[in-house]
């Protein structure tokens, strides 16, 4: 990694490969997406990223989701299960015209993508075709990421930030910076471990 860069978002796919995005500390284009295979080999997938986020995978492992927060877009790629090669990049969702920007995401058992809209004060659930299925308003302006957990895997945990809030806004948001939990009525999926394929990613 180049000087003045850091990693910002990462997740394992259904085959146990680790995907991670890097970014410039100056919040300028120059970050990259990398894939780390279970044997330790590193692949540079693409560059020119400003703020990498929203790394997530469909339940069957055949689609890869990725957002560049500063470009107000979430993309979907085809993902070859065997090789880990991504292709056919398409715009999945855009937040242009809304106050929020796409931050962290996760996928539920129905294949819907849940995305935290930083600066938007809400979580958006997208259907597999990209249409908005549900919007969950939050008591915080800066949700940063989401994941499922709990005994039944039906609790959505939401991290939030307190930085970059105006003083008056911070005073009115006592939960800013907290981890929130909401029962959303659908179940999530267990997160795969590095080097260990998950059942939801098996081709059989």
pLDDT digit string, tens, across residues 72-85: 999 999 999 999 99
Please tell me the distance from the alpha carbon of residue 148 to that of residue 145, in angstroms, as a whole number: 11
In a domain, 34, yes or no: yes
User: Do 71 and 6 fall within a single domain?
Assistant: yes
pLDDT tops 50 at residue 5: yes
Mean pLDDT, the chain, whole residue set:
94
34 and 86 within one domain: yes
- Out of 94, 120, 147, a domain closes at 94
Looking at the 3D structure of the chain, how many domains does it have? 2
**198 assigned to some structural domain:** no
Chain segment 164-202, per-residue pLDDT in tens:
888 778 788 999 999 999 999 999 999 999 998 875 544
Query: Are 103 and 61 contained in the same domain?
Result: no
Query: Which is higher by pLDDT, 97 or 18?
Result: 18
Show which of 50, 73, 94 is a domain's final residue: 94
0.85 exceeded by pTM: yes
Residue range 102-113, pLDDT digits in tens: 999 999 999 999
Query: Does residue 199 form part of some domain?
Result: no
pLDDT at 168: 77
Higher pLDDT, 202 or 57: 57
Question: Quick check: 34 and 41 in contact, CB under 8 A?
Answer: no
Would you say residue 155 lies in a domain?
Answer: yes
Catalytic: which of 9, 13, 68, 103? 103
What share of the chain has pLDDT > 90, as a percent?
Answer: 87
Answer yes or no: do 184 and 142 share one domain: yes
The annotation places the binding site at 6, 8, 53, 103
Closest listed residue to residue 57, CA positions, set 88, 39, 80: 80
Residues 23 and 83 in one domain: yes
**Structure confidence at residue 135 (pLDDT):** 97
pLDDT of residue 3: 84
> Is residue 71 one of the residues assigned to a domain?
yes
Tell me the CA distances in angstroms from 106 to 5, 76, 145, one per residue in order. Answer: 25, 13, 8
48 part of the active site: no
63 and 9 belong to one structural domain? yes
Domain CATH code at residue 42: 2.40.10
* Same domain flag for 61 and 19: yes
Q: What one-character-per-residue DSSP string does 149-168 give?
A: ESTTS-EEEEEE--TT--HH
In this predicted structure, what is the pLDDT of residue 61?
97
**Rounded CA separation 135/156 (Å):** 13
Kindly report the CATH number assigned to the domain that includes residue 133: 2.40.10.500
User: Are 107 and 122 in a shared domain?
Assistant: yes
Question: Which residue range forms the structural domain that includes residue 68?
Answer: 1-94
Give the pLDDT score at 199: 59
Task: Answer yes or no: do 9 and 88 share one domain.
Answer: yes
Same domain, 73 and 6: yes
């Amino acid at each position: 990694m180049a000087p003045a860069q850091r990693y910002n978002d990462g997740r394992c796919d259904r085959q146990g490969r680790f995907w991670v995005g890097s970014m410039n500390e100056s919040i300028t284009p120059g970050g990259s997406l990398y894939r780390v295979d279970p044997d330790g080999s590193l692949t540079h997938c693409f560059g020119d990223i400003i703020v990498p986020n929203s790394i997530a995978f469909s339940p069957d492992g055949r689609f890869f989701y990725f957002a560049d927060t500063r470009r107000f877009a979430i993309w979907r790629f085809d993902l070859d299960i065997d090789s880990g090669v991504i292709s056919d990049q398409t715009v999945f969702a855009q937040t242009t015209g809304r106050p929020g920007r796409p931050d962290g995401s996760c996928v539920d058992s129905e294949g819907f993508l849940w995305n935290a809209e930083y600066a938007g004060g809400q979580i958006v659930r997208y259907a597999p075709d990209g249409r908005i299925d549900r919007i969950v308003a939050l008591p915080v302006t800066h949700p940063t990421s989401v994941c499922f957990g709990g005994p039944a895997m039906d609790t959505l945990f939401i991290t939030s930030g307190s930085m970059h809030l105006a003083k008056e806004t911070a005073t009115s948001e006592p939960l800013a910076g907290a981890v929130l939990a909401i029962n959303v009525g659908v179940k999530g999926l267990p997160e795969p471990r590095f080097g260990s394929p998950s059942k939801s990613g098996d081709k059989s």
